[in-house]
Amino acid sequence: MTVELTRDSYEVEVNGSDIPVLVDFWGPRCGPCLTLMKPVEELEREYEGKLKIAKLNAAENRMLCAKLRVMSLPTFLLYKKGIEVKRLTGESITIQEIKTAVDAVLAEP
């Protein structure tokens, strides 16, 4: 199940996770974000038990986005052991690029 993040839950859900985390920064007026929403949620089944998928509404969490230097949408951050290991950003991100990044992170020891 996709985790809905807030400023208060970010630290525990992302940095405290035993498995890698893909954080989807999205906005309700971001067309590319909304286009990717369903395919990203479907990744959960494909990577069940290996990857946590979390979403953060950037419009409701502007201060956290600024702190994390998320300046455009969509943005996807991949974390492993609480450390950001990959950042994908821009309107042209594809689900295949996301999967490739996730596979690379999961393949690392």
Residues with active-site annotation: 30, 33
Q: What is the largest CA-CA distance in the chain?
A: 38
What's the one-letter identity of residue 29? R
Q: Where are the alpha helices (DSSP H) in 1-109?
A: 7-10, 31-46, 62-67, 95-107
Number of H helices, E strands in the chain: 4, 5
Phi-psi region of 20 (alpha: psi -120 to 50; beta: other; left: phi over 0): beta
